[in-house]
Structure 1
Amino acid sequence: MLSYILLLCVALVNAYSDPGTCSGSCWAHDPNVIQRKSDGSFFRFSTGGGIHISSASTIEGPWTDLGYALPGGSIVTVGDASNLWAPDVHYVDGTYYMYYASSALGSRNSTIGVASSTTLEVGSWTDHGEIGVTSSTSDDYNAIDPNWITIGDASYLQFGSYWQGIFQVEMTDSLTSSGDSYTNLAYNASGNHDIEAAFMFEYEDYYYLTYSSGTAQGYTTSLPAQGDEYRIVVCRSTTGTGDFVDQDGTACTNSGGTTVLASHDYVYGPGGQGILDHPVYGLIVYYHYADKDIGLAVDQYQFGWNNLTWTDGWPVVA
């Protein structure tokens, strides 16, 4: 019996594979990764005293720090325009657009802005300011953590953190939202409603909404109860504009969400994730995590990535 219990414990500890290789500058926080169209180089954007840019020739690295996308801050008038968060970059017709959030930790005085570049390089970004998605203390949503996707002939932005969860708004173009008609996509009814960092992608017949659930940071002060730290979850929908459910069929507006990746071995609190269609590995999930062997502080977070496989139409870390 004892040997069986030990084997079971080992299986649970190793329920997920270790992150893929990373060399060079592997610090990351809320990473967003995109490949440059012209040469296939990888660019990683992170939250860190502003929007920090790194680049590498492969996803494994070696990663090189380049500097800040908007070193002087933003022209937005809401939040802390000198300390921008949660970058999300996409490409349309020769131009890269980077959404960012301006806020303060725990505040709903927040707004989402956008900058553009044709190269992704430091020094090439033009700030356009607010896109029209803003929140205040009277709102039941928080206008941070933007994520852009095209669905059919339209484009949409996912956003939100805590409070009533994750929302979606249709965009007029990459610079402007269509208005203040927001659709709730996911909500955690328990505790302090801790879900955020939406990232949606399309695969075969479904749109998959990934987001981070649990306590995101503060691990050096006190660790949350086991299982309450950051983890990556997923829901899916046939439309991408609502009716998201988890693998058990629970509505994601009613605390649904199937875990894709959680703490294991030396990996603690993985989250702030995105999905990338890699030219060699196929779909991968990338994220930041605290490495127990390095440290649990935000400025010690590491860049992680894993291959995704599929089981019965759901993504699984390989």
Structure 2
Amino acid sequence: MMHFPTYASLSLLLISPLISATPASQSISQLSQVYDTTDRLPLPNQGNIVAHDPNILFWEDYYYLFKGGVHIPINRAKNLSGPWESVGTVLDGPSIIDTQNRTRPWAPTTIYANGTFYCYYTLSEHGSRTSAIGVATTTSLGTSSTWVDHGALIHTGKGNRSEIWPFNITNAIDASFITDNVTGQSYLNWGSFWHDIWQVPLSDDLLSIKNPEAPDAVQLTFIPDQKKKPEEGSWMSFHEGYYYAWFSHGKCCKFKTFPARGEEYEIRVGRSENVRGSFVDKDGTKLLDGGGTIVYASNHGVVYAPGGLGVLPASGNGSDILYYHYLNTSIGFADEDAHLGWNYLNYEDGWPVVVDGVGTTSAGSILAIPSWLAFITAMCMFHL
């Protein structure tokens, strides 16, 4: 017979893993200096799958999860909390792009347009500006899908047209996609650290940059008064008249030593009525001037460095969903320890706010319970 713990023992189970997981370089007394213990933000609803830089597309009653990994793994589930099944990979071997890290692309973003699925992916290595953004396509999703790799749209550091502005000053990683609701023009957003995040129009076939010899690029975010400019992982969504420019700010991963508290990944946003900006945060500061309203960050001493985000638009009478990867401090801090988390969004005076609770996330319903209780229950099951 399985004995379920009391609320008191639930609390102990939630706290004790934090102590046992303390890195050797940090004493228990220093925990509060590293892990933010705020309870002002809700805990995540757990996706119950390891994922770094997740990307989710809802199609024909399934959530399809694309993530960084060998050949870009694809999983699908009827519900955002799983269970997830593997349905193959985007690439069937190394990317055709002749650059580094060809077998393990990063940060895929998959969209559907014109009867075709387009997966934009990154090839790079940590700390390098020698990067490329490629694209692969298919006309179906599922276990029998066949993808075609079309190669690179953008090179930075070296490679075709890498000397052209602004590719000569940026880092071609973390692609995302948005279409102007008025003109129908589609755009690719990209960038990291080196001059931060940019946007450029795509050709009509979505397989190349429009006017690649002189691209009509605009800058979306920048930190003008800081040597390091840790902004990346862009995403763009639309809600009731505003385009929202989302991004991850801070140190992402490779936590051999911890950054100062609050300097790890967190999710920020700005908005504009124009898809090309300029974008401002809730306080009116331009994202080009270092602005960005924090929407989600480390919390409860359990969730650490959330980022690599995306936003699923509402369907029916539902809410937009913010999803991301995060590190659970009771598990570990390596890239392969990152797990999928998600929360519903409310909009207060037009600004997105992460809310507590679970609701309907698929064709079927699941019980509406607070995410802190769902999280504790899952932690207990982990320790049974």
- TM-score normalised to the size of structure 2? 0.75
How far apart, CA to CA, are the structure 2 residues paired with 1:77 and 1:30? 23
- Cα deviation code 1:175-234 (max 9, x no counterpart): 111123321110123241000010001111110000000000012x11111000000000
Residue equivalent to 2:208 = 176
- In structure 2, the gaps of 5 or more residues are 1-35, 356-384
Higher RCO structure, 1 or 2 (CA under 8 Å, sep 6+): 2
Does the alignment pair 1:149 with 2:185? no
After TM superposition, list the pairs within 5 Å mapping 1:1-318 onto structure 2: 13-23=38-48, 26-36=49-59, 39-121=60-142, 123-131=145-153, 133-136=154-157, 139-151=168-180, 152=182, 153-173=184-204, 174-178=206-210, 179=212, 180-189=215-224, 190-219=226-255, 221-265=256-300, 266-279=302-315, 281-318=318-355
Distance (Å, rounded) in 2 between the aligned partners of 1:181 and 1:196:
20
- Please tell me whether the aligned partners of residues 135 and 207 of structure 2 are also in contact (alpha carbons under 8 angstroms): yes
Q: Match for residue 12 of structure 2?
A: none
Q: CA deviation at 1:283?
A: 0.1
Deviation at 1:119, TM superposition (A): 2.0
Which structure's residues are more often helix, by fraction? 2
Task: Calculate the TM-score normalised by the size of structure 1.
Answer: 0.91
Ranges in structure 1 where 5+ consecutive residues have no aligned partner: 1-10
Query: How much does 1:98 deviate?
Result: 0.3
| Deviation of 1:93 (Å) | 2.1
Q: Retained in 2: the 8 A contact 1:263–1:269?
A: yes
Q: How far apart, in 2, do the equivalents of 1:54 and 1:188 lie?
A: 36
Aligned-partner residue type, residue 183 of structure 1: V
CA-CA distance at 1:297 after TM superposition: 1.1
Asked if the contact 1:30/1:46 (under 8 Å) is kept, the reply is: yes
- Structure holding more strand per residue: 1
One-letter code aligned to 1:175:
L
Q: How many residues align?
A: 302
Inter-partner Cα distance in structure 2 for 1:217 and 1:246: 25
Deviations 1:33-82 (A, max 9, x none): 0011xx22110011123412111011121112334221302111233322
Q: Extract structure 1 runs of 4+ deviating beyond 6 A.
A: none
Please tell me whether the aligned partners of residues 165 and 193 of structure 1 are also in contact (alpha carbons under 8 angstroms).
yes
SS at match of 1:192: coil
Task: Provide the rounded CA distance (Å) in 1 between the counterparts of 2:78 and 2:313.
Answer: 16
* Structure number with bigger Rg: 2
* Residues 191 and 63 (structure 1), Cα distance of their counterparts in 2 relative to 1, 3 Å cut: farther
CA RMSD in angstroms, aligned pairs only: 1.7
8 Å Cα contact 2:221/2:288 also seen in 1: yes
Does the CA-based 8 Å contact 1:50-1:85 persist in structure 2? no
Is the contact made by 1:200 and 1:210 (CA closer than 8 Å) also made in structure 2? yes
